[in-house]
Amino acid sequence: MCGRFSLIVAYDELKEILRKTFDLTTLPNELKLPKYNIAPSQQLLSVINDGQDYRVGLLKWGFIPPFIKNKEDIFTIINAREETIEEKPSFKDALNHQRCIIIATGFYEWKTKKDPYYITVNNQKIIFFAGLWNKQSFADESHSTTLIITTKSKDKMSSVHERMPVILDNSQIKTWLNPHINTVSELKELLSKPMSNFDVMPIKTTINNPKNNDESALQPRNN
């Protein structure tokens, strides 16, 4: 699974990356950087394509399935498996029409509670997770939510955990976000070939507490 990640980057650097990649020139006013320890229920920096333009904004991590009609019945999902994503009622519509990418610099995984790791992609400052999003309203409340798609671990991740987030490269993200592409086979082809040239760093258990959202979350650990 993917249950924790980081966005450790300066505003100006992030704005320049988004400008070059999506021709976006602004960031949400509510965005606070850097983020060392992003956890479920927090707001994630995400990009979608509305059919004409790319749009950047914040989505809450914890996808509310479209069949939920009452506030009392709400449950949330933080991950979806790429292997079965097209089969699940929770995700079918979003896979066709509401795909997003989630912007990160790295992610965390645990072999055990006392054995956490920080994972980054070699020579790449920003990485893009494949995601789905949904917007629903209950009474006077509107919820814009998202999840991260995961796949079977590859490369060095295999020694840490059996699952990892689907990380798309710059050529793949444009296809993933294109709302005119809704052929399941083409989308699944993208999800089955994520980036996987990882650097894996053992870190101290400070990361275990989501409240530790500063440099202390990334203290290296000697194996």
Is the backbone peptide bond immediately before 34 cis, with ω within 30 degrees of 0?
yes
What pLDDT was estimated at residue 223? 66
* Dihedrals phi, psi of 130, to nearest 5 degrees: -75, 135
Distance of CA 133 to the CA centre of its chain: 11
Distance CA 105, CA 219 (A): 16
**Domain extents for the chain?**
5-218
| Residue 168 burial (10 A CB sphere; 0-12, 13-18, 19+) | buried
* Dihedrals phi, psi of 84, to nearest 5 degrees: -125, 10
The pLDDT tens digits of the residues spanning 45-79 come to 999 999 999 999 999 999 999 999 888 889 999 99
Contacting residues for 217 by C-beta, under 8 A, at least 6 apart:
6, 36, 37, 203, 206, 207
The pLDDT tens digits of the residues spanning 144-188 come to 999 999 999 988 899 999 999 999 998 899 999 999 998 999 999
| Mean pLDDT in residue range 186-202 | 90
Which 3 state secondary structure label does DSSP give 217? helix
* Dihedrals phi, psi of 103, to nearest 5 degrees: -95, 130
More confident residue, 178 or 222: 178
Give the largest Cα separation in the chain, rounded: 52
- CATH fold label, 5-218: hypothetical protein yedk fold (3.90.1680)
| Mean pLDDT in residue range 9-17 | 96
What pLDDT was estimated at residue 19? 96
What pLDDT was estimated at residue 180? 92
- pLDDT over threshold 70, residue 122: yes
Distance CA 106, CA 187 (A): 23
Catalytically annotated residues? 2, 109
Distance CA 142, CA 69 (A): 12
Q: Are strands 198-202 and 116-121 parallel, antiparallel or unpaired?
A: antiparallel
The encoded tokens of residue 131 equal 């995601």
